[in-house]
Amino acid sequence: MSRVYYHYLFNQRNNKHEGEKSLLKAIEADQKQGYPEQYFEKGLYYYYLKKYFDIFDRQNIKLFLFEDFTSDPLKVVKDIFTFLNVDS
């Protein structure tokens, strides 16, 4: 659900739903315009990531959560360097 809410906030900041103050009203407005997937399908990361997993071996892919990056960016950067076998 947080993915849906953050998408709503992003749209609010970019004036996509002028006058729509509630999340529910914004979703309803998108449905009326013919693209209700904006709030839900974009949160189904599996479908986006599957393309990479189909091409690359699992050991060549490293995923990070945004929440981890915001809570401890130095640790995430160190993990990236370690994964890439690069000196930090």
Q: How is the chain split into domains, by residue range?
A: 2-42, 57-84
From residue 9, how far is each of 29, 31, 37, 50, 70 by CA, in Å?
15, 17, 16, 27, 18
How far is Cα 31 from Cα 37, in angstroms, rounded to an integer? 8
Tokens 């479908």 belong to residue: 47
| Helix orientation angle between 2-13 and 23-32, rounded to the nearest 10 degrees | 80
Q: Each residue of 38-63: pLDDT tens digit? A: 666 666 778 889 999 999 999 999 99
Q: What pTM was estimated for this model as a whole?
A: 0.56
